Amino acid sequence: MKRIIWTAIVTALIIVAIPVLIVASGAINMAATSQPSDFEQTVATFAVQRSMAWRIPEKSAVPDSDDAVSHGLTHYASMCVRCHGGPGVEPEKFALGLNPPAPALEKHLDDFSDEELFWIIKHGIRMTGMPSFGREHSDEEIWSMVAYLRTLPNLTRAQKKQLKEAIGESHANTREGSGGHAQSEANEKSGDKEDHSHSDQSHSARNIGE
């Protein structure tokens, strides 16, 4: 009996020690330039899904009004488009260095309920580049962003223009006193004609909707 207890204790210690040693050795590369292992992706995806399942609000409160959608668009243009881009609108270059990547939302909307979108915007997703917006925005404002997200696949030309201008403005800000982004100016001038959707970025790292 004593022997069985000792074997159990030693086995448990080994099970705990192995992952601790792997982490402590520095073998896991935490650089954003290295791809996470399949194991890490699976665990992280599962953790986010379970976390949301516990915490999302019970009932959707997405407003059904044009006012709310246009309010949501203003927020999206000032806070989201730089990372996520939009239909026909490229994200900022820095966003391509995010790992996990910021997905093109219009392609993943069907993976999420309204309540899940609300939760993600309000609380963000830890250990990714997705910030929480709940500190400085009321629930009502966040629901208006959800209302807007639902319209993303069917934006009008004027709405796309607003997103492009938002990216243009942020380039103008970073341009002050520095070399400048001639290319972005050229893109702005080309207007709506070229409607190349930004790359799907495959959203491989943490596909929490699937």
Q: Taking the complex as a whole, how short is the minimal distance between the CB of residue 102 and ligand HEC, in angstroms?
A: 4
Q: Which residues bind ligand HEC (CB under 6 A)?
A: 48, 75, 79-80, 82-84, 98, 100, 102-103, 105, 108, 117, 120-121, 125, 128-131, 133, 145, 203, 205-206, 208-209
At its nearest, how many Å lie between ligand HEC and the CB of residue 142?
8
Nearest approach, Cβ of residue 174 and ligand HEC (Å): 15
Smallest separation, CB 201 to ligand HEC (Å): 9
User: Quick one: 20 or 100, whose CB is closer to ligand HEC?
Assistant: 100
Between 102 and 155, CB nearer to ligand HEC: 102
Q: Which is nearer to ligand HEC, 36 or 88 (CB)?
A: 36
- DSSP state, residue 105: G
Residue 129 or 185 with smaller CB distance to ligand HEC: 129
Peptide bond between residue 100 and the one before it cis (omega within 30 degrees of 0): yes
- Burial pattern 30-40, b for ≥16 Cβ within 10 A else e, equals eeeeeebeeee
Reading the block at residue 76, the tokens are 């999206």
Which amino acid would we find at residue 159?
Q
71 vs 203, which CB is nearer to ligand HEC? 203
Q: How far is the CB of 32 from ligand HEC (least distance, A)?
A: 10
Dihedral angle at the C-alpha atoms of 109, 83, 116, 107, nearest 10 degrees?
10
127-154 as b/e: b if 16+ CB within 10 A: ebbbeebbeebeeebbbbbbbbbebbee
